[in-house]
Every structure is written in C-alpha cells, then in structure tokens.
Amino acid sequence: MYAFDLERPTTLADAQAALKSDEAQPLSGGQTLIPTLKQRLAMPEKLVSLTAIAELQGITKEGDTLTIGGATCHADVAADGSYPALSALAGQIGDPHVRNRGTIGGSLANNDPSACYPSAALASGAAIVTDRREIASDDFFTGMFETALDEGEIVTSVRFPIPERAAYVKFDQPASRFALVGVFVAKTADGVRVAVTGASEGGVFRWAEAEAALSSDFSPAAIEGLTVPSDDMIGDIHGTKDYRAHLVGVITKRAVAAAG
Amino acid sequence: MPADGGIGAPTKRREDVRFLKGTGRYTDDLNRPGQAYVFFLRSNVAHGRLKSVDTSAAAAMPGVVRVFTGADFEGVGGIPCGWQITDKHGEVMQEPAHPVLAQGKVRHVGDPIAAVVADSLEAARDAAEAIEADIEELPAVVDMKAALQDGSPKVHDDLTSNLCYDWGFVEENKAAVDEAFANAAHVTTLELVNNRLIANPMEPRVAIGDFDQAGGNSTLYTTSQNPHVIRLLMGAFVLGIPEHKLRVVAPDVGGGFGSKIFHYAEEAFCTFAAKALNRPVKWTASRSEAFMSDAHGRDHVTTIELALDGDNNFTALRTETHANMGAYLSTFAPSVPTWLHGTLMAGNYKTPLIYVNVKAVFTNTVPVDAYRGAGRPEASYQLERVVDKAARELGVDPIALRRQNFVTEFPYATPVAVEYDTGDYVATMDKLEEMIDISGFEARLAESKKRGKLRGLGVNCYIEACGIAPSNLVGQLGARAGLYESATVRVNATGGIVVMTGSHSHGQGHETSFPQVVAEMIGIDASMVEIEHGDTANAPMGMGTYGSRSIAVGGSAMVRATEKIIAKAKKIAAHLLEASEADIELKDGQFSVAGTDKSVAWGDVTLAAYVPHNYPLEEVEPGLEETAFYDPNNFTFPSGAYACEVEVDPETGKVTIESFAAADDFGNVINPMIVDGQVHGGIAQGIGQALLEACVYDEDGQLLTGSYMDYAMPRADDLPFYAVDHSCQTPCTHNPLGVKGCGEAGAIGSPPAVVNAVVDALQRAGKTNVTHIDMPLSPSRVWAAMNQ
Amino acid sequence: MTQVKMTVNGKSVSGEVEGRTLLSTFIRDTLGLTGTHVGCDTAQCGACTLHVNGKSVKSCNMFALEADGADVATIEGMADADGTLNTIQQAFQDHHGLQCGFCTPGMVMTAAALLKENPSPSEAEIRAYLSGNLCRCTGYHNIVKAIMAASGQDVGQIAAE
C-alpha cells in the first residue's frame, strides 16, 4: 500500500470536514477497498473511516419502510429480519467475517457489478440518502463501479420500502463467491421489479421484460421463454455471455418461486 | 487395538498443541536482528527482451539498501534442474539457463527482473516502482501445440525449438503396440486435458538469508519440504557454498503439496544478498506473488487409445501427451510427465503392450513441476477415463470391465518397466462396493429426479508408485541425486531419544507417527522419543518429504538406525547381565537373558552407555547414537478403488458431490488417524481439480487466475464427508515396515471418479453425445456440454 | 505515525502505527503474536481471523487504527490460563482437525464465533460458516467433525474410522 493518513471521526460533520481535502476518500468496511489498496491500485492521501460514526449505524423500521444506516454491517442487516429477503441477501454476502466489517453504504457506493446489495436496492426501489441529497436507486447506479455519488459524498442511509413479496437468489462465481448471477425480485402494489447483478457489463440492471410479465402473472412460468440479450453480458473464465444470459432466466424463475 | 503410541494406534498428534495455541513457528514468524526486506520487481509481460534496467532512481530512494539486477548474478550459477531426460532418439533434453534474476529476456509473467532490498517492505516496494525496465515485448507462446510449430516464437533463443524432449516409452515396444491396435476388435479413443493447477499451500513461501561474517557461514531459513536438497542444489550449483558453510533451516512448514520441494530463485537471492550486504534479508511472498512464482502443476494434453479384443480384454494402450514445462525447468519438472507418469500407464490392468509418447514443451508461463501425485494423477485420470468410455461404448458394466482386466498375480512386471510387489485390486474393489450401496443407487436416482436433479455414479481404481525411491533405478532414469533417506537415533543417558531425520513434515504429523515406530521397536513410551527435522545442522543428509516417501523411506531409515541401537544396547546389556549377547532379548523396554529372570531396564543400559563404569569398553564404544541410510530396492505401489456420486442441476450445470468413498491399500499403517486425514485432504484436492480449480492464461500469457478471486479453491461447503477405508492391506515386501505411503493417493484416485460420475449422470439423462468434459467441470462447462 | 491502543487477550497494549498498518501486521510484528497468520491478500483465506469486540474479522483486511480502543482476541488467548486447550482446541486435536496448522488459528477463531452464535450447528451450517476460511490439508472433514464434537454433538456416525 502507498502511505496515507487514516482519520476516524465520530460525527458526520467531522467526516465531511475531513473529506474536504483533495485526495481524501471515505473508508467504510473496507472489504473491497483494502485489497485494492494492497495491490496499489488506489493512491488516496487520506482515508476517512466512517465506521465509528454512531449516526451512520443502525436499522429502523417505520411502517413499511426500513431505514439502514450507511455504515451498518452486513451481519446486522442479516440478523434484523424485518425485510426477510434483504436479510437473506445480506447473509449471503462474502463470509461471516466479511459480513462483520462490510457495510451497505460501502457496497452501494462501490457498485461492484457482481455485488449483491445493488440488486436489492434497485429491485426494492430504495432511496439512497447521502449527506447532501436523496437519490432514487433508478438514478444511483450509473455503470460498472460507477454511481451518481460525487467526490466525498457519504451514503448516510438507505431507505427500503418493504415489498409484499420478495426474494433474492444468488448463483455463486465459484472462486470469489460473488454473484455470477444474482436476481432480486420484489412485488409491490405498483407492480414487480426485477434487478439482476453479476451478469452485465453495465453492472446491476432492471429486467424490464420480466417485470412486465411478472406484473401480470407473478409465477415462474411467466419467465418462460424470456431472454436477456447475451451481447450485454459479462463473458469470462467463469461463464460465457450465453451462459450468463441463460442463468438470468433460470435464477429469476427461482427468485420468483422463492418469493412465493 | 495396538497400544497407544505404538504402531497402528490412532495416537493424537503432539504437534497439534503448539499449532492450536498459535505457538507454531513458521518461517515468516522468524525475524533476524537488523534484517532488511526484499521486494522483487516482476515482469508483467509474458515474453520480452530486457533492453535495459535503470535502477538509479530506485537506489536513491529512502530506506533502500541496494537494488540488484540480473547483472549482479553474472558468474553466479543458475537455478539447476535435478533430472535429465534422454529422448526417444537417445539425445538428452534441451536444458535452458535459469538465472536468479532475469538476464536478456523475461519469459513469464512474474519472472523477477530486479530485487530491491530496503529497511522496510513498503520502502522496497516504493523503490521498485522507480525502476525503469525497458522491455521490448515479444509475441508470447502459451499453447503447447502452437509452440511446437515451425516459426513459433522461441522461449529460449539459444535452444533449437520449444521442445524440451520427445520421449518414447518403451520405444522398442512401439511397433508391437501399433500392430495390436491394427488387430484390435475395438479401440476407444479419448482426448483430454489435465488442467493446470496451483498447489496453494496456505502458507506462502518465505526465505530469510543470514550471514555470519566472522565465521563465513550462511544460513537460509526457508519454507521447504527438503532443506538438505536446497542446501545441495543452492550450495553446489548456484552460489558455490560448500555444505559445511551453509545451513538450511525449514521450521514449521504450512503445507507444500510439492510446491515447496523445489529450489527457487528467491532462496538463492536472499542467501546471496545477505552475504553481499552482510545483513539478513527477508522475503515473504504475498499470495498474488505466489500465484506467479510458485511452480504450477499438471498441465498435460493427452490423446489416449485403448485396444480391446473380442472378449473385452485390454490388448494395448497408446498415448501421446504434451506436457507443459513452463518457461524454465524447475527442479524435478522433466521427471513428472515421464518416469512418474509413463511408468504408471499400466494402472491396475494386465494390458500387455503399452507405448507412451511425451513431448515436453517450453512456454511463456510459470514453470510447471510436481504437485501432489505428480504424473500419477495424470496417468490415472487418462486411463480410468478411457476405460470408462470403453465400457460405455461396449455396453458393459464399467466395474466388471475393470475387474476382468485386473492384475491378480504378484509380483507383476508391467510392460512399462516397473514391478508391482504386492496388491489386491479385487479386494479394494470389493470393499468399495460394500461401502457405496450400489443396489440403492436407482432409488437415490429417482429421489434426485423428483427434485429435478440428475444423478450419476463414477467408479475407478488407481495405482501409484511412491516411496520414491531406489537411487540406482532413478539414477538410470536421469535423476541427478540419490533418493535414499537418513536417520540418526540419539539415545541420551537417561533413556530419552532424539531422532534426526531428513524427512520433513509439512503437515503429515511426523512428530507423532515416527516416534510410534521407534518406541514400538524398543518397547518404551512414545513420549520418550522426540523428532528433530527441518534443519541441515541435525540429520546428516536427507532427500525430504514428497512422493509419499516419508514413512516408506524415512521411516525405514529410522528402523535401520534403531536396529543398530538395539544391537549395541544388547551388547551393553549382555555385559551388565554377565550373559552372552546372543541370549539377550528386548521386550517392553527390558533386556533379559533368555530363559532366566535376569533383566536390566532400557534406562540402565542407556546410562551405562554414557557412564561406562561397568562397561565392555574393549568391545563397544561408549555412547548410544547410530545413523542409517536407507535406500529401497523398489518403489512401493499403493492402490485402491474410489467412487463418487454426484447430482447435476440440469438448468445451471452445477455439480454437487453427494458422496465419496475411497478403499485404499497402503500396506501396513502406522497411525490410522493420520492416514485417514491424508486421504481426506487428497480427495479434496482431487475434487478441487475435477470441479473447481484451473490456472488459466490468456493468449498473451497474462495470468487470468492470479488470486483467489478467480482461482477457485475448494471450501468446506463444496465438499461432503468422505468414507475412507484402508483395511485392505497387502504389506510392501521390500521395506522393513511393510508400508507403502498414503500422502498422494486421494489426489490420484479422485478426479476420474468425479468426472466418470458426471458423465454417468448426463448419459443417464439421455445426453448420450456427452462422452467427456474437460476439468474443471464448472457449471458453465457442464451446461455447455449439455447444450452443445 | 499514530499511537494506537487496544486490549488484546485481556491485556492493554499500545504501539505506533501508520495509517496503512494492517491490524494483522500490528498483531504479528508489533505485539509478536504470530499465531495470527496471513495467507492471502484478497481477504479470502481467513488464516488471519481474530475477534474484534466479540466479532470475527479478517485482520489483514482491517487497519490497526480501526481497532483503536477495541477488545481484541487472538488464538494466543484461547487456551485456559494454565495452558490447557479449550473445548474447541481439544476437539481439533481429538478429531485430527488440523495438519500443517497454518489455517488452524483462523479455523479455531471462526469456530468460536460460530458456536457463540449457534451452540449446536448442523453440518451444513458449519460448512457455510467456514466459507471464509480455506484449508488445503484436511479436506475440511475433520474440521467439521471437530466443531460438531466441540458443540457436544455425537460424531460417532460420521463416515470414516
């Protein structure tokens, strides 16, 4: 790693101040960032840790809305259970140790194309709340490892409307255990949203055809015959574009079945 | 049940206590006073001409002690190869130079270009970024067959081609083999890839060079399976340091699986630099670095043909294999596809005619060498896959076809130059069938089907040659070293024993099982015996731990040395008891005069040896210490039968192992608990190879699987509990313990079982066009095969 | 350099670290507690697993400064004060749950975290919980068996032996 300063503020205001300087970068759970730093692929002058800030922690449920602090770790979300599909997803990220460190805000801000959380946020129609504004999930994910966040902008919480029915099914990439394909399906009074992670060169995406089919018939059979274009899929040593396109259909069906 | 601590007892491992408390001492846990750290600048291109390396800016950076390049190693020896193959034309193999740091060219991603020694690792790494290496990138050679075509770029400009050797075995049999194929009633042909793997012991390699200027002595602390071999290779061939001025210490070693046999450039560098700088120099590999600097394993591409007569008897076998050597010849690389592979092609079968051709090829990839099983898994995989395919083509039961062709009489001289001393392949297959409930398979298949899953059963057998091995034989085969083992048994005055051995545990529990042997021979408690290993300052010489040789060769050396101890102790006892030496018997640690009640205890005799007040000084010297070198007259031949049951998800192609059973014949067993553990680990690595693991390069020679993010290691939830059994025991006839070795069996026997099972599942589901899928059988490959 | 303070195995410790100093480096190099091992650089092998404030973490994937003020437990603190192996450690020895020993500290720390959350885990739950800890020697068979035994479950029926 290159040398950097590490600050560990205990209030959001201090974190914001610390992030004002050039080449400062927020550090949340660090489960992706630290390996990146080890490879010297990033060269921040300062890292500002967000995990000691109490106001970024915690999970609250008000009515049908679940609000999760940006620096809440995956293990806490997994244990919460008020949005079962989301808790189940959090319980499948990485491994138990990673889940004790990695945070929802960090995961969303990183927008790894194979990460689990972006699919939940997008399918649930969550709102990503930052220290500056609120961003609808449809506007948040702008491409592989890219989001609508500005430099130094901090995800303070994520607000999930809890759907009537929902499920996440993940098919593991055998080495990294990230999603080779992961599908989050959420059914609300307004219809069905389907978000796919792991598969696309563009990162997480909504599968419009599946959403339309499921909105009129929420059953695995509704997916039969639907396909995503394989051209847009990731092709690598773990799966060809065709294989990933095929898996999107299979895993979506399974997610619908799991959502019951 | 044998007495705890004796031969055959499942004695709990004494070394576990320190490992469980975090007080093991691995090489990276050691730090020498004043040590500096080295960081290697490694090539990020697979093939290139090294036009210049400017280190001036790096040398001036803070904390930097010195920057070394290939130029510093001119006049220093290169990394040697320990085995020379003679090809089918009688010519010796092409053997390229392997400099410690690259000279003239870089030949694989990871090839070290320069080494920065600094006060801290981060300072060294910072400075490495300031090195300006001007590399003219050249086209890379990655595919073995392409590498052999005319006009292919050459990995080594001074060699005539990328062909290391073209080996024919047994060349004299070729015409007869061809004739048998011409006359065959049926021929089954299979092309397959034995996937390139990375050993991945959990402890990355570490080397610390140290130099005592006053005495002129060098010490290397290293993660090695065989410190004496490193001392010999590095001292004699690279740095020109005689053995008495060089000590190599390998403390606790965190796994090896072959990858820590070899002498590596980093070891030579640290030893060299410590002397040059008069300061200890430490290198610790990161895992990413390990992926591109540890020798890789396997990487064979084979066409195998099996000829059968009208009664389904195997009449001939013919193979052509391309074996990847990588960019340089690692220590034992040339022997793996030849003598550790060709000699095993008879397998468990009495096929009368066999011809094996192996073309070893240089490519712009990391050197390839022995990995758990080394050559024998490649042999077993081809053979057991082609036999399975033949059974399908002929419409016969694959187990019956195997049984029909088993070797049943021993000793059996194969047509590939080895003689199996003992074995009972029928017994292990019987045992296996007993373990796996074949009759219940249809019901399990139906149950899987209900859940939308396919199910298959794969069975195979294997034979391996281990206890490596007779020096006179391997010498004829091109080994540049002997392959004996030594042991020194030092008995102290109060009766406690220290055994110094050239074998070196890297997880096998030698500290527990070796004392079981010595203690049983004398009849004392195993706690009175301590093992010292891993240090050239102790055992006189040693060839180390690999090839499942530690108990068969190292253990036998201990037996021989202990026999000498007992013989001498009997002389002393005879004197103490005023009896004839011929009448002295040793039982349960007591020396007694046959037919009398006169006896003297072990401790009295050992005390007399060191306090020789009443002692036969004119007949024997004081003291009680003996050394023996043991060199067997044959390999040992463990064998067994394995079975795997899988489910396949037809929608995703994902394979899950539902059950796995192994019936092995290891001859006699010293510690059955440890033996079970060895088999478990081998099976996991075999399943890993079959389903998960692959080291992949792209066409430019870039390593696509450079970390655990892309190289799939087997995890706990990829694997089931295994049923293992070693109750079938045909003791080895030529070593004093009757043992055969068990370290590699699991990795040799398991890949064909898994692949046979998956093919079986697909065939049963009507995918009759799927006769083979290359490993690893990842979900995407299985899905593609089903949808081809 | 910054001063960092924490409690490690019940003892108050401190040292000077850089921002980039990993917790594993501080534990191994500054404190000399070399039972915590480093086996990879992508946070996958789990050999460096220890507990921070009662939760298992990969110490090579966390900065020392992030543990400032924390209560840290390492493998060296697992045995009883008189040196007797604790239940999990003893089960690993009894059931041959280790070979080379390199992954073992991480496995023991992980098993301890699991049994705290789930005192009687099933085989499948144990295997899932070990997904962040690689072992190359044992094939996991005896590790899973040892953890089941440590939780008081009968392991006599498990295949082999």
SS (H, E, C) B605-653: HHHHHHCCCCCCCCCCCCCCEEEEEECCCCCECCEEEEEEEEEECCCCC
**Interchain pair C110, A4: CB under 8 A:** no
Query: Are C59 and C118 members of one domain?
Result: no
Q: What percent of chain B has pLDDT over 70?
A: 100
Residue B497 CB-half CA count within 13 A? 36
* Minimal-distance CA residue of chain B relative to A238: B780
- Final residue belonging to a domain, choices B271, B293, B315: B293
Query: Are A252 and A171 members of one domain?
Result: yes
Query: Are B312 and B265 members of one domain?
Result: no
Query: Are B231 and B121 members of one domain?
Result: yes
Across the interface, of B673, B709, B717, the residue whose CB is closest to C127 is B717
Tell me whether A220 touches chain B (CB under 8 Å): no
- Final residue belonging to a domain, choices C77, C107, C126: C77
In the predicted structure, residue A82 carries a pLDDT above the cut 90: yes
* Minimal-distance CA residue of chain B relative to C144: B716
Query: Does C32 reside within a domain?
Result: yes
Query: Does B66 reside within a domain?
Result: yes
- Final residue belonging to a domain, choices C32, C58, C77: C77
* Minimal-distance CA residue of chain C relative to B29: C34
How far does A238 lie from chain B, in Å, by closest CA? 7
Query: Are A145 and A211 members of one domain?
Result: no
CATH number at residue C136: 1.10.150.120
Residues B641-668 have pLDDT tens digits of 999 999 999 999 999 999 999 999 999 9
Which pLDDT score, from 0 to 100, does residue C161 have? 41
Tell me whether B651 touches chain A (CB under 8 Å): yes
Query: Are C96 and C143 members of one domain?
Result: yes
**Interchain pair C101, B257: CB under 8 A:** no
Contacts of B713 in chain A (CB under 8 A): 175
Contacts of B694 in chain A (CB under 8 A): 237
Query: Does A19 reside within a domain?
Result: no
CATH number at residue C41: 3.10.20.30
How far is B726 from A226, CA to CA, in rounded Å? 53
Q: Which residue has the higher pLDDT, A183 or A260?
A: A183
Query: Are A153 and A244 members of one domain?
Result: no
Query: Are B675 and B772 members of one domain?
Result: yes
What domain count does chain A have?
Answer: 2
Query: Does A97 reside within a domain?
Result: yes
**Domain, as residue range, for B691:** 296-469+634-786
Query: Are B47 and B101 members of one domain?
Result: yes
Query: Are C6 and C73 members of one domain?
Result: yes
Three-state SS at B591 = strand
Query: Does B331 reside within a domain?
Result: yes
Query: Does C82 reside within a domain?
Result: no
Which pLDDT score, from 0 to 100, does residue B475 have? 85
Please choose, from the candidates B467, B513, B13, the residue with its C-alpha nearest in 3D space to the C-alpha of residue C100.
B13
- Final residue belonging to a domain, choices B630, B652, B679: B630
How far does B712 lie from chain A, in Å, by closest CA? 4
Query: Does A50 reside within a domain?
Result: no
Q: What percent of chain B has pLDDT over 90?
A: 95
A20 in Cβ contact with A26 (< 8 Å): no
What domain count does chain C have?
Answer: 2
Query: Are A177 and A253 members of one domain?
Result: yes
The Cα angle at residue C99 between residues C96 and C100, in degrees rounded to 5: 155
- Final residue belonging to a domain, choices C53, C77, C101: C77
> For chain C, how many residues are written?
161
* Strand ranges (E), B269-329: 281-284, 296-297, 300-308, 314-326
Query: Does A191 reside within a domain?
Result: yes
Cβ contacts of residue B600 below 8 Å, gap of 6+?
B573, B576, B577, B590, B591, B592
How far is B125 from B286, CA to CA, in rounded Å? 12
Query: Are A201 and A234 members of one domain?
Result: yes
Query: Are C97 and C36 members of one domain?
Result: no
- Final residue belonging to a domain, choices A130, A161, A192: A161
CATH number at residue A84: 3.30.465.10
How far is A9 from A19, CA to CA, in rounded Å? 11
Query: Are B285 and B317 members of one domain?
Result: no
Which pLDDT score, from 0 to 100, does residue B470 have? 84
Q: Which residues of chain B have pLDDT under 50?
A: 1
Query: Does A211 reside within a domain?
Result: yes
Three-state SS at B150 = coil
Query: Are B449 and B498 members of one domain?
Result: no
**Domain, as residue range, for A139:** 57-161
CATH number at residue B521: 3.30.365.10
Contacts of B783 in chain A (CB under 8 A): 243, 246
Q: Which residues of chain C have pLDDT under 70?
A: 159-161
The token pair that represents B689 in the structure block: 């190879």
Which pLDDT score, from 0 to 100, does residue A258 have? 98
Q: Can you say whether the dihedral through the CA atoms of C38, C44, C45, C49 is positive or negative?
A: positive
The pTM assigned to this predicted structure is 0.97
**Interchain pair A6, C43: CB under 8 A:** no
How far is A35 from C43, CA to CA, in rounded Å? 7
Query: Are B651 and B752 members of one domain?
Result: yes
C-alpha dist (Å) from residue B192 to A139, B195, B386, B711: 49, 9, 10, 21
DSSP string for A163-217:
PSEEEEEEEE-TTT-SEEEEEEEEEETTEEEEEEESSBTT-SEE-HHHHHHHHH-
Query: Are B284 and B244 members of one domain?
Result: yes
Q: What is the value of ipTM here, to two decimals?
A: 0.98
What domain count does chain B have?
Answer: 3
Query: Are B265 and B381 members of one domain?
Result: no
Query: Does B404 reside within a domain?
Result: yes
Query: Are C8 and C69 members of one domain?
Result: yes
Across the interface, of C85, C93, C130, the residue whose CB is closest to B715 is C130
Query: Are C9 and C66 members of one domain?
Result: yes
Stated as kind and residue range, the H or E segment containing A100 is: helix A96-101
In the predicted structure, residue A59 carries a pLDDT above the cut 70: yes
How far does B124 lie from chain A, in Å, by closest CA? 12
Contacts of C43 in chain A (CB under 8 A): 31, 34-35, 98
Query: Does B264 reside within a domain?
Result: yes
Query: Does C160 reside within a domain?
Result: no
Please choose, from the candidates B674, B668, B663, B693, the residue with its C-alpha nearest in 3D space to the C-alpha of residue B753.
B663
Query: Are B82 and B230 members of one domain?
Result: yes
Query: Does A125 reside within a domain?
Result: yes
Tell me whether A41 touches chain B (CB under 8 Å): no
Query: Does A68 reside within a domain?
Result: yes
**Domain, as residue range, for C58:** 2-77
- Final residue belonging to a domain, choices A95, A127, A161: A161
Is the preceding omega at residue B170 within 30 degrees of 0, hence cis?
A: yes
- Final residue belonging to a domain, choices A114, A135, A161: A161
User: pLDDT band for position A111 (50/70/90)?
Assistant: very high
